[in-house]
Amino acid sequence: MDAGVILADFSPPTEAYGSGHRGIDIVAAPGQPVRTPAPGVITFAGPVAGKPVVVISHRDGTRTTLEPVTATIARNAAVAQGTQIGVVAPSQWSHCFTHCVHWGLRIEDDYLDPWRLVAPRVAVILLE
């Protein structure tokens, strides 16, 4: 996905149906290209409750969800990391105060931190 400002980071709920943020919201303008965060296969591209969604299944069993994204690539297409798979849909589909793309990652019914696909988190200790 093209670089953007993070509006909301992953914040998993403490219990199955608890509150939290099950993905990452990235500032994005309607029409902006959306690219795959990791290689996989497009397993769904269409509306979910009227909102355009693209799902990419990865070899490790995880699934990336990107919304609101209008697909420009066909279902069942194999994609490499960085492949453009769609464009940000018009603003009426955004759930953010400013327009954004919601990037989620799941394995079965469990939500995972999407950052694990693109960059390991590194602990840094600053010493004076």
Q: What is the CATH number of the domain that holds 101?
A: 2.70.70.10
pLDDT by residue (tens digit) across 41-80?
A: 999 999 998 889 999 999 999 999 999 999 999 999 999 9
**Residue at 36 is within a domain:** yes
**Residue at 84 is within a domain:** yes
pLDDT by residue (tens digit) across 69-124?
A: 999 999 999 999 999 999 999 866 566 666 888 889 888 888 888 877 776 555 45
**Residue at 94 is within a domain:** yes
Question: Residues 80, 36: contact at Cβ < 8 Å?
Answer: yes
- Report residue 122 as tokens: 């590194």
d(CA 42, CA 63): 10
Domain count, the chain: 1
Place of tokens 């400013």: 98
- Domain residues for the domain of 24 are 6-114
Average pLDDT, the chain: 83
**Residue at 93 is within a domain:** yes
